[in-house]
Structure 1
Amino acid sequence: MKKVLITGANKGIGFETARQMLQHGCYVCIGSRSVENGRAAVETLKAKGLSHVEAVELDVTSSESVRVAREEIGRKTDVLDVLINNAGINWGMPQSSLEASVDQFKQVFDTNLYGVVRVTQAFINLLQKSAQPRIVNVSSSGSSLTLHSDPTWKYYSHKAALYPSSKAALNMYTIDLAYQLKDTPFKVNAVCPGFVATDFNNHRGTGTVQEGGTRIAKYAMIGPDGPSGKFIAEEYNPQTGETPW
């Protein structure tokens, strides 16, 4: 049974991804900044007959919280097969390049980039003990520099200073991480779930959480011949999923 950790998994796309990974026969740790919210999510999943799940308190912006979560999970297992770095914030709108403060940039990057670094580095030794370790960094097609420079792209006018720049930085981290692990069984990818309607975007999205969860779970479960070091946005490119950086 594959063991999976998903950050920010008590609601939205993270919760749906957890549900789908459980349906794939995995054991899932629901990472949640609020352990109460995480436990509520676990009870909801168990009510659906999905029992191989537990909650772990995990605030990706706190090195101490990450350390404690690593110790807690490490007491129960010596291997982690899948890490899905899903936790993220967008700060809301508007996000003006001329008005957003440095403190706002720091807060968004602290979750969307530094949080991924904290969690990945803390859990890498458990992942290295897996036969087929997988890391999925949840990104966004809205972080593509190429697309945002193309006036014909349908979301060209959807500019924001904070969230897309943090995800663009995450994409670069994903490239470097995949390179560091290129001669190992690891598969590391940045995956966009699509423009999914959740409270993250005030339900303005056009896709469903089921679609988003399916896209993330797919790359969490890819086989040894699957891609690594790629930016995947199947909503943008339904054929291969590969998206311009």
Structure 2
Amino acid sequence: MLSLVDVHTYYGNIQALKGVSLEVKEGEIITLIGANGAGKTTTLMSISGIVPPRTGEIRFLEQPITRINPNKIVSMGISQVPEGRRIFPYLTVLENLDMGAFLRNDAEGIKSDLDYVFNLFPILAERRNQAGGTLSGGEQQMLAISRALMARPRLLLLDEPSLGLAPLVVKRIFEIIKKINRENKTTIFLVEQNANLALKVAHRGYVMENGEITLADSADHLLANEAVKKAYLGI
């Protein structure tokens, strides 16, 4: 579904990604783990077109998207849930969800998807007329995921969904991630510092260090890998 081939991305003169190559197959949950500053978020930003690569190629559904505008990339079927959630704090829950469907014009489909996200997160249905900025951190994360789903993506990019959340809320969020993948047939690319949690929900994983992919394997094998245990699992 998605492939990155020898991607090099820069912020000015600072190189963030150094020849990154990876692939995401349809129906998978894949995870990219690594230390803070390793280049994980930049990888997602490159896919979304927000920080386009300087060299290399990104393809989605066999189409090159390396230098396509972000709004076009969303319309092709990729949605991103950014790190830190970044909901619209002064808009209501319902207005935030409407923004997620901004590029769509299928009223019946939008209504169906609205019912779907309210079923996933009933608390959002209860608070549909409440300003997004007044929600708790966990509720804002639920809203950010729901807003991305309102674009009806085939590929959902999740950037640090556990960041700053209580353990019980994180458990619930990751249960929903698995449910979205299983029931909604949405392919998921998960970036997460909580490597143990990420690898337990993923099918495959990649390890990133200093802007380079250093390891790729099934999630089970990465969980059992001694180097991964020592560096990322605290074992």
User: TM-score w.r.t. structure 1 length?
Assistant: 0.35
Greater strand fraction, Structure 1 or Structure 2: 2
User: TM-score w.r.t. structure 2 length?
Assistant: 0.36
